[in-house]
Amino acid sequence: MKLKDQIHTTLEFKNTPKRIICLVPSITELLVDLGLEDSIVGITKFCVHPDTLIKNKTIVGGTKNIKTDVIRNLQPDIILCNKEENTEEIVENCRQITTTHVADIYTIADTLELIHQYGQIFSCQEKAKKITKAILKEKNNFSEFTKAKKEKKVAYFIWKKPWMVAANNTFINHLLGVNNFENVFKNKERYPEISLEKLNEVDDLDFIFLSSEPYPFKEKHILELKNKFKKTTITLVDGELFSWYGTRLLFAFDYFKKLHNSL
C-alpha cells in the first residue's frame, strides 16, 4: 500500500506496522483508542494519556529532543511525528531509522483525515470510522449550541516571559473559531510574542484565556493581568482541550459548553 502523509511524503507499506514509536502526545492517546496500545513500543515523556503508558512503555525523549539510539534499538516499523511538535531535524533522523509518518494538523477536518490514514496504515478501519463519526456528532451538536452565541473577542495566551499567544494557522485558532470566538491576533501567524500594552489598545476585548499548557498559567497570573485589563474577563482554560487533536476532541465540546456557560 502506498499513502501520502500530511506533508505529502509518499510512504509504502508491505505489511501492517506492528512496532510503533509515537513522538506526539495527542497521537499516542489516539493510538490507544484505536486499539493499538500493544503495538506501541516507544513514547515521549509528555505522552500522559492514558497515564499507565509512562510506566509500561519506553521513553525515547521529548517532542523537541529524542534519544536516537534508544529509538533504533527498539526496532520500530514506523515512527509517528507532527510537523509542529517535532523539529525537521528529528523527522530526518527518524527517517534514517524507519518509515516516518508526519501529521500536519490545523483543523478538525485535518484530524479526521489523519484518523482515516491511521485506519489504513494500522488495519483498524472500523475503529477509525467509529471515532470520526463520534467526533463529527459532537461537533455538529456543538454547532447547534453556538448558533445563537454572539461572537466575542478573545486573546489566547500560551506563554509568559515573553508573552506569547496563539494566532492564525494553528489548531487553537481553529477551535476558537468553532467556539464563535474572534481571535484578536488572527492577523498574525502561529505563536507570536506580543506586548501587553498593545493588547490593551484593542477595543472591546471580551476575554483573555490563559492556557494550562505549554505554560502552566495559574490564578496568580489572572490577578497579575487584572490590573492592566480591568474591563476584560480573564480565565484559565484547559490547554489540552484547545490544542490536542485526536480523541481528546470527544471531550472538548462538552468542556467548551461549560466554558461558555461560565463566562
Give residue 203's pLDDT. Answer: 85
Instruction: State pTM to two decimals.
Output: 0.94
Q: Which residues of the chain have pLDDT under 70?
A: none
pLDDT at residue 170, as a whole number = 97
pLDDT at 250: 96
Distance, in Å, from the CA atom of 183 to the CA atom of 5, rounded to the nearest integer, reads 29
* CA 176 vs CA 38, 56, 111, 151, 243: distances in Å: 35, 35, 16, 10, 10
Say what the pLDDT of residue 4 is: 97
pLDDT at position 202 is 86
Q: What does the pLDDT read at residue 200?
A: 86
pLDDT given for residue 148 in this prediction: 87
pLDDT score for 160: 95
Contact at 8 Å (CB) between 45 and 29?
no
Ordered structural domains, the chain, with CATH? 2-138 (3.40.50.1980), 149-262 (3.40.50.1980)
pLDDT of residue 198: 86
